[in-house]
C-alpha cells in the first residue's frame, strides 16, 4: 500500500479525519496513516510519501499500484491522477465529499466510462471541506465505501459501480445511484479525443462567500528572489516554523489569518508559503477575499525551499 499526502495533521482535521488524534498534530499525514495501518496489521507493507503527486511522479506512483483510491482535495490533482490511471489502464476509485453530500464511482479505461464523461474539464475549485464545511462522519462513510469497492474489484476484477455514480445525502439519509455512459464527445475516451497524454491542468478557484472569481497565482522558488514583495507570509503551524523557516518571513497560521489579516497593510505585495504549497493557496484566497490585490503562492512551499537550498 502506498499513501501519498504532502500535508501535516492540523487540529481542524480531527473532526472528519478519524485516523488522527491531537498527539499527531504537526506530524506528516502520510507517516501517521502508515503507522496506524501497521499497528492494525504488522504484516501490512506500507510506503508513506510526504510529497505532492505531480506530473513528475504520477506515472511512477500509479505504475506501482494495482488500484488507486482517490482521496484528493482539489480537482487539479484528481484529474491528473484519474487521467494517469486511464492511460495506464489502472482501476480508479473516485470519491468526493462536501457538507452533507458525497459521491463515488469506479472507473477503468478497459470497460467503463471515465471521469471526464461526467466532467469534461475540472470543475471550479470552490472552498475546501475545511472552509465550506463537511459533516465529519460523511468522510468515513464515503471512505469506507471506496475501500469496499476497491476490495470488491481486486477480488472479482469487475465492479458493479462501472458506469454508475453513487450519490449520498447524509443530511436526509438518502442514497441513490444514477447511470452514466461513455460520452462519444469525451475529450479523453471519446471517438476523437483531444487529450492524448497525461497533463496537468490549471483549475480556477472562487470564493463562495464573496462570489469573486479567483485565479491564484503561483511562483517557483527560483522566481522568489526576483519577485517583488513586501511581505513573505508563513502560514504554517508553530511546530513547523520551529523546524525551519525562510528568512524575513511574517508568521500567521492559516487558521488565524481571517481574523489577523488586518495586521498586514492592505496595499502590500504578499507571497504566501506553507509546507508544500497547498495551504498557501488557501491563504491567498483569504487575502484576496479580504481586499488584497497583489498576492501569490509559493509553489512547493518550504519543502521546495529546503531542497533548493540543499
Pairwise pLDDT comparison (17 vs 125), residue with the higher score: 17
Instruction: Give the predicted TM-score (pTM) of the model.
Output: 0.67
Catalytic site residue from 72, 117, 129, 272: 129
The pLDDT tens digits of the residues spanning 195-254 come to 999 988 766 554 434 433 456 899 999 999 999 999 999 998 888 888 899 999 999 998
162: Cα within 13 Å, side-chain hemisphere = 15
> Phi, psi (5° rounding) for residue 170?
-75, -25
Phi-psi region of 299 (alpha: psi -120 to 50; beta: other; left: phi over 0): beta
Residue 43 banded pLDDT, cuts 50, 70, 90: very high
The predicted pLDDT at position 203 comes to 60
Catalytic, 129? Answer yes
The mean pLDDT of the chain is 88
Q: Are 22 and 37 in contact (CB under 8 A)?
A: no
CB-based contacts of 238-244 (< 8 A; 24+ apart in sequence): 239/25, 239/26, 240/8, 240/26, 240/275, 240/302, 244/302, 244/306
Residue 273 three-state SS: strand
> Phi, psi (5° rounding) for residue 273?
-145, 155
Question: Cα separation of 138 and 210, whole Å?
Answer: 26
Q: Which CATH number fits domain 205-309: 1.20.140.10, 3.40.250.10, 3.30.465.10, 3.30.9.10?
A: 3.40.250.10
The predicted pLDDT at position 125 comes to 55
The pLDDT tens digits of the residues spanning 163-176 come to 999 999 988 888 99
Residue span(s) of the chain under CATH 3.40.50.720 come to 52-179
Question: Taking residues 82-110, what's their average pLDDT?
Answer: 93
Question: Cα separation of 297 and 288, whole Å?
Answer: 12
Q: Are 118 and 76 in contact (CB under 8 A)?
A: no
Asked whether residue 121 carries a pLDDT value surpassing 80, the answer given is no
Question: Taking residues 53-76, what's their average pLDDT?
Answer: 92
In Å, how far from its chain's centre is CA 199?
16
Q: Among 23-37, 58-72, 206-220, which stretch is predicted with the lowest mean pLDDT?
A: 206-220
H-assigned helices in the chain: 29-40, 58-63, 75-87, 115-118, 129-132, 136-156, 221-224, 238-241, 257-260, 279-289, 301-309
CB-count burial class (<10 Å; 0-12, 13-18, 19+) for 45:
exposed
The predicted pLDDT at position 116 comes to 92
- For residue 80, give the C-alpha cell: 491528473
Residue span(s) of the chain under CATH 3.40.250.10 come to 205-309
Asked whether residue 48 carries a pLDDT value surpassing 90, the answer given is yes
Q: Among 142-156, 197-211, 296-310, which stretch is predicted with the lowest mean pLDDT?
A: 197-211
Question: Cα separation of 78 and 166, whole Å?
Answer: 18
288: Cα within 13 Å, side-chain hemisphere = 25
The predicted pLDDT at position 108 comes to 94
Q: What is the largest CA-CA distance in the chain?
A: 60
Asked whether residue 272 carries a pLDDT value surpassing 80, the answer given is yes
Length of the chain: 310
Q: Are 67 and 41 in contact (CB under 8 A)?
A: no
The CATH homologous superfamily to which domain 52-179 belongs is: NAD(P)-binding Rossmann-like Domain (3.40.50.720)
Q: Are 68 and 85 in contact (CB under 8 A)?
A: yes
Question: Cα separation of 260 and 293, whole Å?
Answer: 17
The predicted pLDDT at position 206 comes to 44
- Calculate the alpha carbon distances from 60 to 92, 119, 177, 256 in Å: 16, 25, 33, 37
The DSSP output letter for 134 is: B
The predicted pLDDT at position 104 comes to 94
Other C-beta atoms lying within 10 Å of the C-beta of residue 281: 23
Amino acid at each position: 500500500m502506498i499513501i501519498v499526502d504532502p500535508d501535516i495533521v492540523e487540529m481542524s482535521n480531527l473532526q472528519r479525519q478519524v485516523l488522527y488524534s491531537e498527539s499527531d498534530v504537526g506530524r506528516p499525514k502520510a507517516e501517521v496513516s502508515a503507522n496506524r495501518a501497521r499497528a492494525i496489521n504488522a504484516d501490512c507493507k506500507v510506503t508513506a510519501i510526504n510529497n505532492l503527486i505531480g506530473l513528475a511522479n504520477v506515472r511512477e506512483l500509479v505504475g506501482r499500484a494495482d488500484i488507486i483510491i482517490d482521496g484528493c482535495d482539489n480537482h487539479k490533482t484528481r484529474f491528473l491522477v484519474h487521467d494517469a490511471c486511464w492511460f495506464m489502464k489502472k482501476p480508479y476509485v473516485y470519491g468526493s465529499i462536501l457538507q452533507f453530500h458525497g459521491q463515488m464511482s469506479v472507473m477503468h479505461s478497459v470497460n467503463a466510462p471515465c471521469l471526464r464523461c461526467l466532467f469534461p474539464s475540472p470543475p471550479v475549485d470552490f472552498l475546501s471541506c475545511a472552509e465550506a464545511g463537511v459533516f465529519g462522519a460523511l468522510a468515513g462513510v464515503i471512505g469506507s465505501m471506496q475501500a469496499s469497492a476497491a476490495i470488491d474489484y481486486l477480488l472479482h476484477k469487475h465492479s458493479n459501480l462501472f458506469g454508475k455514480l453513487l450519490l449520498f445525502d447524509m443530511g436526509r439519509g438518502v442514497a441513490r445511484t444514477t447511470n452514466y455512459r461513455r460520452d462519444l464527445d469525451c475529450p479523453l475516451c471519446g471517438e476523437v479525443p483531444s487529450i492524448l497524454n497525461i497533463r496537468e491542468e490549471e483549475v480556477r478557484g472562487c470564493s463562495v462567500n464573496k462570489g469573486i472569481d479567483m485565479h491564484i497565482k503561483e511562483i517557483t522558488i527560483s522566481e522568489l528572489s526576483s519577485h517583488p514583495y513586501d511581505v513573505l507570509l508563513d502560514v504554517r503551524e508553530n511546530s513547523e516554523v520551529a523546524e525551519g523557516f525562510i528568512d524575513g518571513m511574517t508568521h500567521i497560521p492559516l487558521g488565524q489569518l481571517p481574523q489577523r489579516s488586518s495586521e498586514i497593510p492592505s496595499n502590500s505585495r504578499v507571497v504566501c508559503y506553507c509546507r508544500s504549497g497547498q495551504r498557501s493557496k488557501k491563504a491567498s484566497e483569504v487575502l484576496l477575499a479580504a481586499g488584497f490585490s497583489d498576492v501569490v503562492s509559493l509553489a512547493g512551499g518550504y519543502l521546495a525551499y529546503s531542497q533548493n537550498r540543499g
